[in-house]
Amino acid sequence: MLLAFETSCDETSAALAHHGRVLANVVSSQASLHAEYGGVVPELAAREHLRNLLPVARAALRQANVSPAQIEAVAATRGPGLAGALLVGFKAAEALAFVLRRPFLGIHHHEAHLFSPWIQGNPPTAAFSEFEPNVSLIASGGHTMLAHVESESKHRLLGSTVDDAAGECFDKVGKLLDLPYPAGPQIDRLAEGGNSAAFSFPRPMLNEANDDFSFSGLKTSVRYFLRDRPGICGDPQRLRDLAASVQAAIVEVLVTKTLRAARRLGVGCVTASGGVACNRALRQGLAAACSRQGLKLRLADPGLCTDNAAMIGVVAERKLMRRAETTSSGADILPNWPLE
């Protein structure tokens, strides 16, 4: 019975995992708190984690009907992430493991995202017996990256964004359109009724022979587009067309570069996670492209795309089963921990 915490950004989460089964996964999002600032304020996030961590942990124990004495191991996100935010969950988990005299594991946030597409069903259960080598896309508000996942213990970063993350691009474009933060889900909904070919926006780095991304130029081109067409957002249909056209540019870059990497590396499977992987056009785009190219696709469940402790718990449990090294007492958080 493993208790896991995730506090790397603006979600406070606690989960219980038992033999690959997620017995509880409680997530308390701070998104509305940060909304008035248009993005995550690190100091506020840390304070909010302090306030929420124990209630969230208690709620997870209650949901799973587990008592603290039944906990056999404790895990938490060690990095990368916001330093103050990471500290709260990591040090709380370490203290708990010390008091309960149980092993403690500090988990890499992106390694957990890489395996979240393998957790499926109700209750969510890890299907590692189905695992196969894949190219994995992680697209969130803070990160956009591609990794080659050869096995549970071997993965390699292929490329990442050189400036803004895909989610950041959705959010910043949303700000230009006066949509509330985080704007990704709103643009997704608006785009449904829009024509994605109405306006043409750049597809940054689409044809470059690497696995990196860039999204800040796209955001800038939307700013100039709006400057030259004042009032366009007042027309509901034009606003939907604009949302669909911007979304199409982001999705095309993500899908094309993910599939290109998969083909080049000769894997038979593609996976995707992170908040932006909730986007319906991206899910459909990946599904269509994988089906055309005869590749399997595993998308993380929308509830496990955004940050959550379930993925931390499942990966930690697998590490314990492989007898991987535990994290020693007094270890530090690693806010810039590279994936390798």
Applying CB under 6 A, the span of 121-129, 184-192, 290-298, 311-319 interacting with ligand KG4 comes to 184-192
Give the whole-angstrom CA distance, residue 108 versus residue 143: 14
Can you tell me which of 79, 81, 106, 167 binds ligand KG4, judged by CB under 6 A? 167
| Per-residue contact string for residues 252-291; x = within reach of ligand KG4 by CB under 6 A | ----------------------xxx-xx------------
Q: Residue 170's binding partner, choosing from Zn ion, ligand KG4, none, with beta-carbon cut-off 5 to 8 A by kind?
A: ligand KG4
Q: Residue 171's binding partner, choosing from Zn ion, ligand KG4, none, with beta-carbon cut-off 5 to 8 A by kind?
A: ligand KG4
Nearest to 219 by CA among 283, 161, 156, 169: 169
Q: Count of CB atoms within 10 A of residue 93's CB?
A: 31
Grouping H, G, I as helix, E, B as strand and the rest as coil, residue 241 is: helix
User: Kind of pairing, strands 144-151 and 134-139?
Assistant: antiparallel
Applying CB under 5 A, the span of 22-30, 96-104, 134-142, 190-198 interacting with Zn ion comes to 134-142
Q: Residue 279's binding partner, choosing from Zn ion, ligand KG4, none, with beta-carbon cut-off 5 to 8 A by kind?
A: ligand KG4
Nearer of residues 168 and 241 to ligand KG4, judged by Cβ = 168
Applying CB under 6 A, the span of 126-134, 180-188, 196-204, 283-291 interacting with ligand KG4 comes to 180-188
Q: Residue 13's binding partner, choosing from ligand KG4, Zn ion, none, with beta-carbon cut-off 5 to 8 A by kind?
A: none
Give the whole-angstrom CA distance, residue 312 versus residue 325: 16
Q: How many residues bind Zn ion (CB under 5 A)?
A: 2
Give the whole-angstrom CA distance, residue 43 versus residue 63: 30
Cα radius of gyration rounded to whole Å, the chain: 20
| 304 near ligand KG4 (CB under 6 A) | no
CB of 329: closest distance to ligand KG4 in angstroms? 29
Region for 218 from its dihedrals, namely left if φ exceeds 0, alpha if ψ lies in -120 to 50, beta otherwise: alpha
| 11 near Zn ion (CB under 5 A) | no
Grouping H, G, I as helix, E, B as strand and the rest as coil, residue 148 is: strand
Give the whole-angstrom CA distance, residue 261 versus residue 238: 35
CB of 174: closest distance to ligand KG4 in angstroms? 7
For 7, residues 6+ apart whose C-beta sits below 8 A from its C-beta are 13, 49, 53, 76, 77, 81, 85, 86, 88, 89, 90
DSSP per residue over 179-238, as a string?
PPSS-HHHHHHHHHTS-TTSS----TTTTSSSS-B--HHHHHHHHHHHHHSTTGGGSHHH
Can you tell me which of 38, 39, 185, 335 binds ligand KG4, judged by CB under 6 A? 185
Nearer of residues 74 and 80 to ligand KG4, judged by Cβ = 80
Which residues between 256 and 315 bind Zn ion (CB under 5 A)?
307
| Per-residue contact string for residues 216-255; x = within reach of ligand KG4 by CB under 6 A | ----------------------------------------
Which residues between 40 and 99 bind Zn ion (CB under 5 A)?
none
| 140 near ligand KG4 (CB under 6 A) | yes
CB of 159: closest distance to ligand KG4 in angstroms? 18
Q: In what order do the strands lie in the sheet with 134-139?
A: 154-160, 144-151, 134-139, 269-273, 296-299
Nearest to 304 by CA among 75, 117, 24: 117
Q: Residue 134's binding partner, choosing from Zn ion, ligand KG4, none, with beta-carbon cut-off 5 to 8 A by kind?
A: none
Contact residues for Zn ion (CB under 5 A)? 140, 307
Contact residues for ligand KG4 (CB under 6 A)? 9-10, 140-142, 167, 170-171, 182-185, 188, 274-276, 278-279, 306-307
